[in-house]
């Protein structure tokens, strides 16, 4: 009975648990895209820094489009350009949250462990800010 309830929550486009799962899947796709573009461009002779920025920039745009169309499809209180601006701002906050968490945690644990905990912290922060600020529910 509980497993069926969990499955129903995951399928419900408006339920936070399902949105978090879809948000995570979009994150996996975006990470693969950013790394793929970075490595492809670098293998083609583009320096690492611009290749990294191009891959990351493309991943942010794709992330926005996927999250708007799939993850938060029932939450469109604002137009796409306004949402996109807030989405970029939230991603900047998420990067800062990750970096600060890793910096603080690495004082008491190995950096790889701190990095994993930082990913969890920034995922939660990014998801909540995206759900509450970027893709707000219609009034």
* Confidence category of residue 1, pLDDT binned at 50, 70, 90: very low
Residue keyed to tokens 């999250």: 67
Q: What is the pLDDT of residue 5?
A: 55
Q: What is the pLDDT of residue 11?
A: 58
Q: What is the pLDDT of residue 6?
A: 47
Give the span between the Cα atoms of 13 and 59, in whole angstroms: 23
* Confidence category of residue 112, pLDDT binned at 50, 70, 90: confident
Q: What is the pLDDT of residue 62?
A: 96
- Reply yes or no on whether the pLDDT at 136 is more than 60: yes
Q: What is the pTM of this model?
A: 0.77
- Reply yes or no on whether the pLDDT at 76 is more than 80: no
The pLDDT of 59-71, averaged and rounded, is 92
The interaxial angle of helices 111-129 and 80-105, nearest 10 deg, is: 150
């Amino acid at each position: 009975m509980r497993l069926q309830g969990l499955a129903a929550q995951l399928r419900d486009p408006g339920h936070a648990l399902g949105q978090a799962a879809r948000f995570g899947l979009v994150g996996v796709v975006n990470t693969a895209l950013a790394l793929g573009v970075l490595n492809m461009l670098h293998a083609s002779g583009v320096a690492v820094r611009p290749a990294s920025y191009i891959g990351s920039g493309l991943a942010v745009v794709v992330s926005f489009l996927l999250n708007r169309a799939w993850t938060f499809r029932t939450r469109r209180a604002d137009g796409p350009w306004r949402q996109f601006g807030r989405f970029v701002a939230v991603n900047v906050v998420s990067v800062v949250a990750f970096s600060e968490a890793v910096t603080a945690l690495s004082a008491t644990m190995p950096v790889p462990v701190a990095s994993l905990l930082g990913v969890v912290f920034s995922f939660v922060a990014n998801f909540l800010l995206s759900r509450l600020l970027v893709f707000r529910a219609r009034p």
